[in-house]
Structure 1
Amino acid sequence: MNESRNEARTHARLIALICLTVLLFSPPLVLIFDKPAEQGLSWLPLYIFIVWLLVIGLAAWLMEHRQEDS
């Protein structure tokens, strides 16, 4: 019973991570960072890199945490 509860919790967290990823990569939010800075360079590549790094890190942490519970 406890294992199925842990699996359900992990499944819900992974779905939440997917929803967060879709939100962070949604066009309205991405367009905010697509405006050029003072030097004329866009913040978009830095934003995409940081968000992608965050998503990969959270997914790795969730999956590693899942293996420790089993």
Structure 2
Amino acid sequence: MKPFGMKSRQTERLMALVAIALLLFSPPLIIVVDRLPTYNLGWLPLYLFIVWAVVIGLTAWLMEQRAGR
């Protein structure tokens, strides 16, 4: 049986991840990234791909820790 503190800590970490993801995908930040100097390279698709991969990776890491305990 898991202690009460472990479950609430996991929940807090997942809630923090959701908040960070919402911040990273917020329209003001996306507009800033979209308006960066291009140098013949589109920064927006690269930013969206990297942020999405990081969010998926962190989610997998957090859920894997939960399953391992």
**Same fold by TM-score, threshold 0.5 exceeded?**
yes
The equivalent residue for 1:55 is: 55
Q: Which runs of 5+ in 1 are unaligned?
A: none
- TM-score, normalised to structure 2, is 0.89
Describe the SS at the equivalent of 1:38.
Answer: coil
Quote the residue 1:9 is aligned against. 9
- Determine the structure 2 residue equivalent to 1:24: 24
CA RMSD of aligned residues (A): 1.5
Contact 1:33/1:42, CA 8 A, preserved across alignment? no
Residue 42 of structure 1, CA deviation: 2.3
TM-score, structure 1 length as denominator?
0.88
**Structure 2 unaligned residues grouped into runs of 5+:** none
CA drift of 1:52 comes to 0.2
How much has 1:2 moved relative to structure 2?
5.2
2:66 equivalent in structure 1? 66
